[in-house]
Chain A
Amino acid sequence: MQPDDMIPATEFCVHHKIELSFIHSLEQHGMIETVVIEENIFLPLSQLDRLEKIVRLHFELDINLEGIETINHLLQRITNMQEQIVGLSNRLRAWESD
């Protein structure tokens, strides 16, 4: 039985033309989480975005998993900082227009 919020890992692999072993390595590296139901591996939909990005970075740019992990950390920091900048700019705008 397939839960609504998951897709079979094999389906993802066929669609992206990648080996299932790649999904296993990502899980071993702690980069994604998978769910096993009745011996079938499923990927939560919430992780697809992240997973597709990993696939692109690995296969389009030849970046190894350690590199992708580092990139993801740095991108997250950039996102946090950008959000902080937006928040601070809005606060500044509120007081500047006084």
Chain B
Amino acid sequence: MEFIDYYKILEIDKNASADQIKKAYRKLARKLHPDLNPNNKEAQKKFQQINEANEVLSDPEKRKKYDQYGKDWQHAEHFEQAKQNQSRQGFNTGQNFGGGQGFSGEGDFSSFFESMFGGSGRQSQTKFRGQDFHAELQLSLVNAMVTHQQTLTVNGKNIRITIAAGIENGQIIKLKGYGAPGTNGGPAGDLYITFQIADNSQFKRTGNDLYTTATLDLYTALLGGETTIDTLNGKVKMKVSAETQSGTKVRLKGKGFPIYKQDGMFGDLYVTYQVALPTNLTEKQRALFTELSQLK
């Protein structure tokens, strides 16, 4: 447990007046408040630090103790007890440093704060909402295309969520009130879930559209015919025009990814044809290709 310099956190001098402390706190709170820094973990951490610093420095009694013991805070309890023993002629009150002084509420304080001022050291009645939690959830492309439910465990709590089809990689959803509890009766924070959707070797996704490649044999590409294309929903039979070139792109309307929260709406599937040339030609095939080449 390390000593925390609350003056440094609030960027003020050790002789700062109560007014200067308040001003410094307000200034930093406006910069670091979670509402103004959505999804910024660093800002949220700093916001907690400035709250804690303000909690101590804006309370004359706590500030006095903090200033008095400073870096020797670990010995504060001994000093305090010794003083009490002296003044009460050896009667030990058993009072902890800062504990049991009528303060109420609980907060997310550092272990340094808890150690120095006790677990329930909050005196100010300012309400603050709890810290937001952030979690990541990995889905496969196939899972992301159907609406389904999943149970997550966040800080020991089981949360069942419905993931709507069409959720995008990197998309963040907010679950209100599933973050840390608020302090002094303030509202709980929120839970932000970032979805990580893994790549699929066969399909690439851009927005709601999917891209894939399909191989055509030379004869189908030249003379036209039918081919079967794999989509994420199953197989689709397609007509192939005669003289289809390698690299030709065709669009299958509505066979792409579901559009997020728009039931029954889908993007498109783009198929790029790759023409495979025959190998291990028989004598007859070779002779016929040679004949063809001479017709050019």
Distance of B223 from chain A, by nearest CB (Å): 30
Tell me if A81 counts as interface (CB < 8 A to partner B): no
- B168 and A60: CB pair below 8 A? no
Max count, chain B CB within 10 A of own CB: residue among A61, A62, A89, A91: A61
Per-residue contact bits, chain A 78-94, to B (CB 8 Å; 1 contact, 0 not) = 11001000110111011
The count of A-to-B residue pairs whose CB atoms sit within 8 angstroms is 50
Max count, chain A CB within 10 A of own CB: residue among B30, B35, B206: B35
Binds A, one of B71-79, B101-109, B169-177, B242-250: B169-177
Tell me if B26 counts as interface (CB < 8 A to partner A): yes
Binds B, one of A1-9, A19-27, A28-36, A49-57: A49-57
- B36 and A75: CB pair below 8 A? yes
Distance of B221 from chain A, by nearest CB (Å): 22
CA distance A86 to B196 in the complex (A): 11
- A94 and B29: CB pair below 8 A? no
Tell me if B204 counts as interface (CB < 8 A to partner A): yes
CA distance A50 to B256 in the complex (A): 34
Tell me if A97 counts as interface (CB < 8 A to partner B): yes
Known: A90-B206, A94-B211, A97-B199. A60 touches B171 (CB 8 A): no
Known: A52-B187, A60-B128, A75-B38. A86 touches B169 (CB 8 A): yes
CA distance A64 to B54 in the complex (A): 22
Distance of A27 from chain B, by nearest CB (Å): 21
Q: Which residues of A contact B170 (CB under 8 A)?
A: 86, 89-90
Contact for B168 among A63, A82, A86, CB less than 8 A: A86
Tell me if B33 counts as interface (CB < 8 A to partner A): yes
Q: Which residues of B contact A13 (CB under 8 A)?
A: none
- A56 and B35: CB pair below 8 A? yes
Tell me if B129 counts as interface (CB < 8 A to partner A): yes
CA distance A86 to B195 in the complex (A): 11
| Residue total for B at the interface (Cβ-Cβ under 8 A) | 24
Contact for A49 among B176, B204, B205, CB less than 8 A: B176
Per-residue contact bits, chain B 145-180, to A (CB 8 Å; 1 contact, 0 not) = 000000000000000000000001111000010000
CA distance A63 to B36 in the complex (A): 12
Per-residue contact bits, chain B 201-240, to A (CB 8 Å; 1 contact, 0 not) = 0001111000100000000000000000000000000000
Contact for B26 among A52, A53, A61, CB less than 8 A: A61
Q: Which residues of B contact A49 (CB under 8 A)?
A: 176
Tell me if B126 counts as interface (CB < 8 A to partner A): yes
Q: Which residues of B contact A89 (CB under 8 A)?
A: 170
Tell me if A37 counts as interface (CB < 8 A to partner B): no
Q: Which residues of A contact B176 (CB under 8 A)?
A: 49
CA distance A49 to B176 in the complex (A): 9
CA distance A82 to B192 in the complex (A): 15
Q: Which residues of A contact B128 (CB under 8 A)?
A: 60
The closest CB in chain B to the CB of A91 belongs to B206
Q: List 5 A-B contacts (CB under 8 A).
A: A49-B176, A56-B129, A78-B38, A86-B169, A90-B207
Binding site for B on A (CB under 8 A): 49, 52-53, 56-57, 60-63, 71, 75, 78-79, 82, 86-87, 89-91, 93-94, 97-98
Given contacts A86-B170, A94-B205, A94-B206, 8 further A-B contacts (CB under 8 A): A53-B35, A57-B36, A60-B33, A63-B30, A75-B38, A79-B38, A90-B205, A97-B199
